[in-house]
């Protein structure tokens, strides 16, 4: 493995390391760089280094226990979106309780064991739907509460990820806040946090622009919340997936957070903690999905379009769904074949779906990638797969979820094993109800 420290830093893996891991766990597998994770995590921590600021990790991006343990040791708090995420965070060492509120539960619905986990571990519920306030009261919840607001603006990196505005399901519409405030007063729930997540736009400067606008909005409403002591600006720090993409200015983000803390504290007349909750930026670069070339075949030009060279690999969208779901770009390399001439090739997986292709564009069309002429048996690395990679993987086609390997200081450790059939069918039953 090697990295550099330039703005265009890229994580690479040497073939010998990957072949050694593959000989022990098979392919495909995920491999995480501890060094890369800590580097990104420390960049985020530098944004909140001023007094009165805190970083949470949006664990939906990757909830692998080893990742959580590393981030807990560095001083992150947690943003969870399910009852089981609360439980996993506590098991990984994050302290329960609301003083301070180390674990935040942010959702628009209480599902499964969410309320029970909140009550058991005193996580701070951050509600995105008014009826959730009534449900907490019905469940005899006693404690503080957070309110997630839809401020009427925001943007995701693609339309499907829009997190603010009239097309977003997230949060309580800003013009309807009075009703939610009244419900909280009725049940005796002190509102200690207000939250909005407006996402990352496609332009590198859009994050800063949206945060400034969000701070202005918070300034206009903070006096309506007498007990609020924290304002959460959400996550959405953009990660550069493409070679040559610009990196976000970390120092500028630090200045934004510092200014927000001062502005909102002055407006409220008391100290206000500013929180950010990135997920993707923390973990995306640290993980690589490693597969092996299994087959080669060609189609020919005809009236439907041009022919293609298809390279089939054993990794598929059950392992990394982002290219199929969003047309997302992930850098692809062939370790040990550096410096060779390149040929456009389509990288396709084993799933029984035509969309199981890693080389797609934003319109979900085939986008052949210039790569060395691949041969059966070559290892192939799909980079920047740490965010919404393993955590969104599935058992489609009855395939087991792949192993996860942690690599740090020259040592590889298996942190989750490959699933086998018994894992897939363990919950199946035939019980009268």
Q: Buried (b) or exposed (e) across 179-211, using 16+ Cβ within 10 A?
A: ebbebbeeeebebbbbbbbbbbbeeeebbeebb
What does the pLDDT look like over 212-256, one tens digit per residue? 899 999 999 999 999 999 999 998 888 999 988 888 999 999 999
pLDDT at 210: 84
Q: Is 352 a catalytic residue?
A: yes
What does the pLDDT look like over 352-392, one tens digit per residue? 999 999 999 878 789 999 999 999 999 999 999 999 999 99
- 39, 64: one domain: yes
pLDDT at 201: 56
Integer angstrom CA distances of residue 257 from 231, 238, 351, 424? 11, 16, 44, 45
Number of domains in the chain: 2
What does the pLDDT look like over 73-123, one tens digit per residue? 999 999 999 999 999 999 999 999 999 999 999 999 999 999 999 999 999
Compute the distance between CA of residue 310 and CA of residue 313 in angstroms, rounded to an integer. Answer: 10
- 235, 291: one domain: no
Whether 293 is in a domain gets the answer: yes
Whether 29 is in a domain gets the answer: no
Nearest-10 crossing angle of helices 250-268, 206-221: 10
- 48, 139: one domain: yes
The CATH number linked to 82 is: 3.20.20.10
pLDDT at 8: 45
Q: Which residue has the higher pLDDT, 202 or 34?
A: 34
State which of 283, 300, 324 marks the end of a domain.
283
Whether 171 is in a domain gets the answer: yes
Whether 222 is in a domain gets the answer: yes
pLDDT at residue 198 is higher than 50: yes
Whether 6 is in a domain gets the answer: no
Phi and psi, residue 39, nearest 5° = -60, -50
Q: Which residue has the higher pLDDT, 197 or 315?
A: 315
The catalytically annotated residue of 184, 294, 352, 429 is: 352
- 189, 173: one domain: yes
- 293, 398: one domain: yes
- 218, 298: one domain: no
For 75, the domain range is 34-283
State which of 283, 310, 331 marks the end of a domain.
283
Whether 27 is in a domain gets the answer: no
- 75, 121: one domain: yes
The CATH number linked to 370 is: 2.40.37.10
pLDDT at 270: 97
Percentage above 70 pLDDT, the chain: 93
pLDDT at 159: 43
Mean pLDDT of 333-345: 95
- 261, 315: one domain: no
Mean pLDDT of 388-409: 98
- 82, 215: one domain: yes
Residue with tokens 């069918």: 425
Whether 11 is in a domain gets the answer: no
Residue 4: pLDDT band with limits 50, 70, 90: very low
- 180, 292: one domain: no
Whether 18 is in a domain gets the answer: no
Q: State whether the Cα torsion 27-291-323-240 is positive or negative.
A: positive
pLDDT at residue 5 is higher than 60: no
Residue 152: pLDDT band with limits 50, 70, 90: confident
- 335, 345: one domain: yes
Query: Do residues 313 and 293 lie in contact, with contact meaning Cβ atoms separated by under 8 Å?
Result: yes
Mean pLDDT of 50-57: 95
- 160, 306: one domain: no
Half-sphere exposure of residue 133: CA atoms within 13 angstroms, side-chain side: 24
State which of 264, 283, 302 marks the end of a domain.
283
Compute the distance between CA of residue 108 and CA of residue 225 in angstroms, rounded to an integer. Answer: 21
pLDDT at 31: 98
């Amino acid at each position: 493995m090697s990295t550099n420290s330039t703005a265009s830093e890229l994580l690479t893996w040497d073939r010998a390391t990957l072949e050694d891991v593959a000989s022990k766990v098979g392919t495909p597998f995920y491999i995480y760089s501890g060094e890369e994770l800590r580097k990104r995590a420390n960049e985020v921590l530098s944004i909140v280094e001023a007094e009165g600021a805190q970083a949470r990790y949006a664990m939906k991006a990757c909830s692998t226990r080893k990742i959580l343990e590393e981030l807990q040791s560095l001083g992150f708090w947690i943003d969870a979106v399910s009852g089981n995420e609360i439980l996993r965070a506590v098991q990984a060492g994050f302290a329960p309780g609301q003083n301070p509120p180390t674990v935040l539960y942010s959702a628009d619905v209480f599902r499964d064991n969410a309320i029970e986990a909140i009550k058991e571990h005193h996580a701070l519920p951050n509600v995105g739907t008014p009826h959730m306030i009534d449900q907490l009261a019905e469940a005899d919840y006693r404690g503080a509460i957070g309110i997630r607001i839809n401020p009427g603006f925001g943007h995701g990196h693609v339309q499907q990820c829009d997190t603010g505005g009239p097309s977003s399901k997230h949060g309580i519409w800003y013009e309807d806040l009075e009703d939610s405030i009244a419900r909280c007063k009725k049940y005796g729930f002190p509102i200690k946090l207000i939250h909005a997540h407006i996402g990352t736009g496609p332009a590198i400067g859009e994050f800063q622009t949206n945060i400034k606008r969000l701070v202005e909005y918070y300034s206009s409403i903070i006096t309506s919340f007498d007990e609020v002591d924290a304002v959460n600006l959400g996550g959405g720090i953009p990660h550069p997936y493409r070679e040559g993409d610009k990196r976000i200015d970390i120092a500028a983000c630090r200045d934004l957070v510092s200014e927000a803390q001062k502005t909102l504290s002055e407006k409220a007349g008391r100290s206000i903690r500013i929180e950010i909750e990135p997920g993707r930026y923390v973990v995306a670069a640290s993980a690589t999905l490693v597969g092996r070339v299994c087959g080669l075949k060609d189609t020919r030009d005809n009236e439907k379009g041009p022919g293609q060279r298809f390279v089939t690999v054993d990794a598929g969208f059950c392992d990394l769904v982002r290219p199929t779901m969003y047309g997302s770009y992930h850098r692809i390399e062939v370790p040990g074949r550096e410096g060779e001439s390149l040929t456009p090739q389509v990288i396709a997986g084993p799933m029984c779906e035509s969309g199981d292709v890693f080389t797609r564009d934003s319109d979900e069309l085939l986008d052949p990638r210039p790569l060395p002429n691949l041969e059966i048996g070559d290892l192939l690395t799909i980079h920047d797969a740490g965010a919404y990679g393993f955590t969104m993987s599935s058992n489609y086609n009855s395939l087991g979820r792949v192993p996860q390997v942690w690599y740090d200081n020259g040592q590889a450790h298996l942190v989750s094993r490959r699933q086998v059939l018994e894992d897939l069918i363990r919950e199946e039953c035939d019980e009268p109800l």
